[in-house]
Amino acid sequence: MTQNMLNVTDLRVDFSTPSGTLRAVDGVTLSLAEGETYAIVGESGSGKSVFSRTLINLLAGNGTRTGTIEIGGRDIDTLSKSESKHFFGVDVAMVFQDPMTSLNPVKRIDAQLTEAMRFHLSISKSEAKERAINLLKQVHIPSPEQRMRQYPHELSGGMRQRVVIAMALACEPRLLIADEPTTALDVTVQKSILDLLDELRIERKMSMILVTHDLGVARGRADRVGVMYAGRLMEVGRTEELFAEMRHPYTQALLQSIPNPAQRSHTRLQPIPGRPPNLLDPPTGCAFAARCRHARPDCLESKPALDDDHGNVDGHRWACFHPVGTPDGDAALRTNLDAGENAAGLSMAEVVGELV
Amino acid sequence: MTNVAQEIAIESQHAAEAQAASPADKGGGKKRNAVFGLAVGWLVFVVVLVGLGWIFGDSLPLLRDPKEIQTDAVFAGPSWQYPFGNASFGEDIFSQVVAGGRISLRIAAIVTFLGIVIGGGMGLIAGYYRGVIDSLVRLVINVTLSVPALLLVIFIVTIRSQSEKWVIIALTLLAIPALARIVRASTLQVADREFVKAAEVVGVKRSKILLREVLPNVMPTLISFAFLTTGIIIVVESTLSFLGLSVESPAITWGSIISEGRNKFADTPHMVAFPSLVIFLTVLSLNFVGDQLLKRFDIREASL
Amino acid sequence: MAGSGTAHLRTTDDVLVRVENLVVEFPISGGTVHAVSNVSFDLVEGETLGIVGESGCGKSTTARAAIQLPKPTSGSVWFKGQDITKLSKEQMRKVRPEFQMIFQDPISSLNPRRTVNEIISEGLRVWGENDSWTLDTIDELMESVGIDPRYGERKPHQFSGGQCQRISIARALVLDPKVIICDEPVSALDVSVQAQILNLLEDMKERYGVSLMFISHDLSVVKNISDRVMVMYMGKTCEIAGSDELFERPTHHYTRALMAAIPGAEVNVEETSLAGELPSAIDPPSGCRFNTRCPAATDQCRTEEPQLRDVGVSHFVACHHPVLD
């Protein structure tokens, strides 16, 4: 088996805030094979952004982490200071969400592109410029020589994001982390950017972590998907498998709350009642239990682990005591429906006037 | 906000909601709060002391007639009897400072008030109604601010007279465009926000929108800049006074005390030092209070 | 793409609002921005009209211009037998209670210095109490949108985005309007909260008999909540049809591109990627404004602007070569 591009083992990230310690990432373990795209899906507060930034060593000052991160076989904790300067941005690179704030508005495009290259690769100015033009061509920006002399605000949102991608690829990373790369863009532009990422990934044999809140994006673009909630992975697996047979109630609830264009108009959506837990004072037991239609008393007592003993295909795992589509899970749902509420006291009726 | 900040902010918000308290930046606040307290304390102290001096005059302990000549203490340094030392004819500098504060502070207060009302009003109307009114106001602001401030004031005061009234008018002419510009900028920002549009959609009259939706949200900026302006006016007035261009003697202002002590600075620095110190601390406090108020209001709005 | 025409306007008795040939242009340094160019549509009582398009298409501007905020450059808006574009500012103000609005950013659409009670009851204080709501029944209104009346004295920053949007909905409903314009009301909300608000809007529509104009860039959301959908591009109308009809038979190339771009969805459109970039709104392409990016553009498209024409049951498209099967 080829070496994994990324190995994360039991990653925990805490932030010390004036109101106490906030655990943003609570024990995430995952691996990414070479050339694979792994989508991390979650809503705001799920910890997915903190996770992705931790991978590229962009942890805020008040954050601490435990656990190991191995990129391309190297444990990033073992990197010396000089090594890490030329590791992040080179072996692993990141594409951020908002192209307007990830580009320096007062610097021309050529300066921004060549800057990183010259720092990491020690090449001459003219060589960097050549490479930059080539990169712009690879990301399909027309008239690259002209664009080089322009400022970010002179480019459209889609083009700016292409420049950001070009910058990320400048030093030929083997792992690309894309944190909501298309959220700020129009849907047709979104498609072209995601197409571009796919194309480049295959061409350069890169691996990619795609962080998104959009299940549709994950479904359409990833080899494997990990659904995150309250800092933990709730369900992971190969994309087709996961969407065909979802097991975790959260994944199911998420899918049911999104309008599906294949359904008829005015199809009633199923919102997820309640609100995400307070990470400053997390609940004992499963973080989703308070909002889960399958929640039974054991869910309130201990956290289910993302384990592997379901005899399933290709690493499809879920962290749930009463998963969807299993006899146990069905029984739990039945019991709750009969009682009118789940083990945490959440009413099972779809409440219109739900305070969230 | 970045995604990370967003995630943390959501959590803080949830925690705060549980306490029905508003999220506030309390980090590092203790030190800042202490200094804030000191600044406010100093300002209150100065105002109260000057006020009491005005009402009760020399009957207060430590205060005596600022003009009283003490031939035996000419140019004397600070002592228990005369905490700030004595001036050229032995006058008690401490009493002079307290007395001088009357004019200096009064001028600053009136000028700031007029500046807020006239300048602030101009800025508000220009920023909200836009169009011709805005162009006009902008023209006035730009023209007045292009004229070298000090020269303008000196000119007015020389042409007219060095009475308190004209000093106030001259300084107000300085304050108005500065405040108008700030208020206009703030108004433009506020007027652009969707709740103002929402009020229009509801059908509220524009004048009412200006007063009930826009103004209350511009007020914080206005108030904090008022504090800053007061500080500036004190400095400007003192400078004028120092140059002999403010209210004429026998009136005493902080600047006039410094002016008097200027020649003898090398030997008897106390004449310049103490009034300068008072001005310095007062303006510093005003700046700090204004700055903090701005931050606090901004945080409240930024958390939205 | 983008075309003009009024063939699609209906003439039945229950037409509430009829917008004809709306034009919104505004001058900037360097030219005039043609934000909305000859857009027409109507809204039938009890209907939800979805207006969908990407940034720069003019969907928001269209809706706001329809309620004179600001006044359109030209065009007419017929409501209750009169053209409201011809009204004076004060006359228009009196019509405002009939047309309310919900905005995209839930928190900034509420005055941070007012309490929720004040915000919601503002309309009643301006216009007096109406048949549906009085100052005493505000609590009931709050409950029906899912806000606990006990929190009425709190300020907006103490509520979440979803709750703020509910407050906005209550504010809009208090004036008993005929039409509520929803300008991207769920775009700034989390996915699971979106569903709550969409359901709420459907419920409110049924309960209080309002008609909705729902503006969004998200096709899936628009399909879910609308009865009829209008697709816009660069200030022009591409296609207008019933929700289900539009998704089953998209005939305009831009509509098809939009649908193909929905991430991960199973839609029956072949993959088409749009070429090029959005042209400048100051100098839009001649003929069909979509011709610079359309895979099926011909010379006719570059010179002649297509008019909206009938291609099915209440289904109109402005295209010289629509995909008909």
> What residues 252-311 of chain A have any CB closer than 8 A to a CB of chain C?
253-254, 257-272, 275
Structural domain of residue B122, as residue ranges?
A: 31-302
Interface test with A, best of B1, B2, B7, B33 (most A CBs within 10 A): B7
Q: Which of A44, A187, A352 sits opposite C262 (nearest CB)?
A: A187
Interface test with A, best of B1, B2, B4 (most A CBs within 10 A): B4
- Rg of chain A over CA atoms, in angstroms? 22
Q: Is A275 on the interface with B (CB under 8 A)?
A: yes
Q: Is residue B235 part of a domain?
A: yes
Share of chain A above pLDDT 70, in %: 95
Q: What is the pLDDT at residue A309?
A: 55
Q: Is residue B6 part of a domain?
A: no
Burial of A95 (0-12, 13-18, 19+ CB in 10 A): buried
Q: What is the pLDDT at residue B9?
A: 45
CB contact under 8 A, A353 and C144: yes
Contacts of A53 in chain B (CB under 8 A): 4
CB contact under 8 A, A50 and B14: no
Report d(CA C58, CA B199) in Å as an integer: 23
Query: Mind listing the domains of chain A with CATH numbers?
Result: 1-91+175-263+270-349 (3.40.50.300), 98-172 (no CATH)
Q: What is the pLDDT at residue B11?
A: 44
Work out whether strand A37-41 and strand A207-212 pair parallel, antiparallel, or are unpaired: parallel
**Which string of b and e fits C169-199 if b means at least 16 CB within 10 Å?**
bbbbbbbbbbbbbbbbbbebbbbbbbbbbbb
pLDDT tens digits for range B242-294: 887 777 777 888 888 888 778 777 777 878 888 888 899 999 999 988 888 88
**Which of B91, B98, B67, B100 is closest to B268 using CA atoms?**
B91
> What residues 12-51 of chain B have any CB closer than 8 A to a CB of chain A?
12, 14-16, 18, 25-27
Interface test with C, best of A159, A161, A191 (most C CBs within 10 A): A191
Q: Is residue B119 part of a domain?
A: yes
What CATH number did the domain enclosing B258 receive?
1.10.3720.10
Q: Within a 13 Å sphere around the CA of C14, how many CA atoms are in the beta-carbon half?
A: 6
Tokens of B202: 């509801």
Residue with tokens 């600053």: B108
CB contact under 8 A, B7 and A46: yes
* Preceding peptide of C70 cis, ω within 30°: yes
Q: Which of B7, B16, B27 sits opposite A47 (nearest CB)?
A: B7
Q: Is B198 on the interface with A (CB under 8 A)?
A: no
Q: Which of A45, A48, A53 sits opposite B11 (nearest CB)?
A: A45
B162 with B170: CB under 8 angstroms?
A: no
Q: Is residue B240 part of a domain?
A: yes
C241 with C297: CB under 8 angstroms?
A: no
* Identity of residue B82: Y
Q: Which of C55, C160, C195 sits opposite A186 (nearest CB)?
A: C55
Report d(CA A216, CA A191) in Å as an integer: 12
Which residue is closest to B194 within chain C, CA to CA? C109
Q: Which residues face A8 on adjacent strands?
A: A30, A69
Q: Is residue B4 part of a domain?
A: no
C251 with C320: CB under 8 angstroms?
A: no
Report d(CA A166, CA A250) in Å as an integer: 36
Number of domains in chain B: 1
CB contact under 8 A, B8 and A15: yes
Contacts of B13 in chain C (CB under 8 A): 160
Q: Which residues face A179 on adjacent strands?
A: A211
Contacts of B303 in chain C (CB under 8 A): 157
CB contact under 8 A, A355 and C146: yes
Contacts of A24 in chain B (CB under 8 A): 4, 7-8
Q: Is residue B11 part of a domain?
A: no
**What are the DSSP calls for C125-148, one per residue?**
HHH---SS--TTSHHHHHHHTT--
Q: Which of C109, C127, C155 sits opposite B198 (nearest CB)?
A: C109
**Which of C237, C197, C199, C231 is closest to C217 using CA atoms?**
C231
Q: Going residue by residue through chain A, which has 356 residues, state the pLDDT in tens, using 9 for 90 and above.
A: 457 889 999 999 999 888 888 999 998 999 898 889 999 999 888 999 899 999 888 887 888 899 999 998 888 888 888 888 888 888 899 998 888 788 998 999 999 889 888 888 888 989 999 999 999 998 988 889 988 999 998 888 888 999 999 999 988 899 999 999 988 888 888 888 999 999 999 998 899 999 999 898 999 899 999 999 999 999 999 999 899 989 999 999 998 889 988 888 899 898 888 778 888 888 889 999 988 989 889 899 988 888 765 555 568 899 999 999 889 888 888 888 888 888 877 777 754 333 43
Chains in contact with A, where contact means 3 or more Cβ–Cβ distances below 8 Å, are: B, C
Report d(CA C239, CA C255) in Å as an integer: 7
Contacts of A187 in chain C (CB under 8 A): 54, 217-219, 258, 261-263
Helix extents (H) in chain B: 3-18, 29-56, 93-114, 121-129, 131-146, 149-159, 164-191, 194-202, 206-209, 215-242, 254-262, 270-302
Which residue is closest to C100 within chain B, CA to CA? B201
* Mean pLDDT of each 10-residue bin along chain B, 304 residues long: 43 41 47 84 87 76 70 71 73 81 89 93 93 92 84 81 83 89 92 92 92 90 89 88 78 82 77 87 91 74 46
Q: What share of chain A is helix, strand, coil (3-state, %, to 5)?
A: 35, 20, 45
Contacts of B213 in chain C (CB under 8 A): 111
Residue with tokens 């022009």: C236
Q: Is residue B17 part of a domain?
A: no
Q: Which of B203, B213, B300 sits opposite C111 (nearest CB)?
A: B213
Q: Going residue by residue through chain C, which has 325 residues, state the pLDDT in tens, using 9 for 90 and above.
A: 346 788 888 878 888 999 999 999 988 888 899 999 999 999 999 999 999 999 889 999 999 999 998 899 999 999 988 999 999 989 999 999 999 999 999 988 999 989 999 999 999 999 988 888 888 899 999 999 999 999 999 999 889 889 999 999 999 999 999 999 999 999 888 888 899 999 999 999 999 999 999 999 999 999 999 999 999 999 999 999 999 999 999 999 999 999 988 887 777 777 677 877 888 888 899 999 999 999 888 999 999 999 999 998 899 999 999 988 7
Q: Is residue B130 part of a domain?
A: yes
Q: What is the pLDDT at residue B5?
A: 42
Query: Mind listing the domains of chain C with CATH numbers?
Result: 15-317 (3.40.50.300)
Q: Is B299 on the interface with A (CB under 8 A)?
A: no
C197 with A266: CB under 8 angstroms?
A: no
- The whole-model pTM stands at 0.84
A54 with B37: CB under 8 angstroms?
A: no
